[in-house]
């Protein structure tokens, strides 16, 4: 796992946005795997800026988001779909038909998860997967557990993760869904290239376990150690608990 430490969160976000822009320049029909969350906001703002400057063309790209809450329609402003529309998709030139999400309201969850896996295959796989990490070491909504799911599945959220998502629900933990649909570990690990970005001291413990701890389902992000082209981009605060050497 290649580690890069940036001075400030904004520097990491700018580098991630530039990485996407270069990916789109070199391979305009790229398939991008995208996260939501506070960490991704800086990346998306910078990508919009690059797009407006003519340096990021999404016209042939496809995107696949990592996860979505169960029970929320895509039109619900608290859904991850709405988050992405607001912060990225409405602000760049991606054709709406190229934007792909898990449907948190699907009646047949198994069929929906299978549809997503097949879609990823039909698109030729994910070229570049951007990731955030939960303070408990989750990626997507693959929560720490005794066993992990390889493929796209329905996930039960921990209280800690629901709390972290509460700001989307006016701070009301009760309103945060208890379940989500998420790409699985193998789905994520099959991406050709992965860049995980983490900023802030609240992520420092998870980062240390992800990078320097054993590969374990108790820290789902630690599985990135097995990927050939996985990188971790941090600011100084998130790197604060890494041991030297």
Q: Which residues are catalytic?
A: 67, 136, 138, 143
Check residue 161 for interaction with ligand GLP (CB under 6 A): yes
Is the Cβ of residue 87 or residue 95 nearer to ligand GLP in the bound state?
87
Only one of the segments 33-41, 55-63, 68-76, 106-114 lies at the binding site for ligand GLP (rule: CB under 6 A); that segment is 33-41
Contact 192, 156 (CB under 8 A): no
In the range 75-114, which residues lie near ligand GLP by CB under 6 A? none
Is the Cβ of residue 24 or residue 238 nearer to ligand GLP in the bound state?
238
Using alpha carbons, list the distances in angstroms from residue 126 to 31, 35, 119, 167, 218.
5, 13, 11, 29, 25
Of 9, 33, 104, 134, the one binding ligand GLP (CB under 6 A) is: 134
Alpha-carbon span 136 to 96, nearest angstrom:
33
Only one of the segments 34-42, 43-51, 219-227, 231-239 lies at the binding site for ligand GLP (rule: CB under 6 A); that segment is 34-42
Judged on CB neighbours under 10 Å (0-12, 13-18, 19+), 215 is middle
Q: How many CB atoms lie within 10 A of CB 122?
A: 9
Instruction: State the minimum distance, in angstroms, from the CB of residue 25 to ligand GLP.
Output: 26
Helix (H) or strand (E) segment spanning residue 12: helix 9-26
Check residue 184 for interaction with ligand GLP (CB under 6 A): no
Instruction: State the minimum distance, in angstroms, from the CB of residue 37 to ligand GLP.
Output: 3
Instruction: State the minimum distance, in angstroms, from the CB of residue 98 to ligand GLP.
Output: 20
List residues bridging with 31 in a β-sheet.
62
Helix (H) or strand (E) segment spanning residue 135: none
Check residue 220 for interaction with ligand GLP (CB under 6 A): no
Check residue 144 for interaction with ligand GLP (CB under 6 A): no
Tell me the helices (H) and strands (E) count for the chain, helix number first: 7, 10
Check residue 181 for interaction with ligand GLP (CB under 6 A): no
List residues bridging with 178 in a β-sheet.
none
Check residue 66 for interaction with ligand GLP (CB under 6 A): yes
Positions in the binding site for ligand GLP (CB under 6 A): 35-39, 66-67, 132-134, 140-141, 161, 164-165
């Amino acid at each position: 796992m290649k580690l890069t430490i940036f001075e400030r969160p904004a520097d990491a976000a700018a580098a991630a946005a530039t990485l996407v822009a270069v990916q789109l320049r070199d391979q305009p029909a790229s398939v991008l795997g995208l996260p939501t969350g506070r960490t991704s906001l800086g990346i998306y703002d910078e990508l919009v800026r690059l797009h407006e400057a003519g340096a990021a063309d999404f016209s042939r790209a496809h995107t696949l988001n990592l996860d979505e809450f169960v029970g929320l329609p895509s039109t619900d402003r608290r859904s991850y779909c709405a988050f992405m529309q607001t912060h990225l998709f409405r602000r760049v030139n991606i054709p709406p038909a190229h934007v792909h999400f898990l449907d948190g309201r699907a009646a047949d969850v198994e069929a929906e998860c299978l549809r997503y896996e097949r879609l990823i295959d039909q698109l030729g796989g994910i070229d570049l997967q951007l990731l955030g990490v939960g303070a408990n070491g989750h990626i997507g909504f693959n929560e720490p557990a005794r066993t992990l799911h390889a493929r796209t599945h329905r996930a039960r959220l921990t209280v800690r993760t629901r709390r972290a998502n509460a700001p989307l629900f006016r701070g009301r933990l009760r309103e945060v869904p208890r379940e989500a649909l998420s790409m699985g570990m193998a789905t994520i690990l099959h991406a050709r290239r992965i860049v995980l970005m983490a900023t802030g001291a609240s992520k420092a413990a998870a980062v240390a376990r992800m990078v320097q701890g054993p590969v374990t389902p108790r820290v789902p992000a630690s599985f990135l150690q097995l990927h050939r082209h996985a990188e971790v981009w941090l600011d100084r605060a998130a790197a604060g608990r890494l041991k030297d050497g």
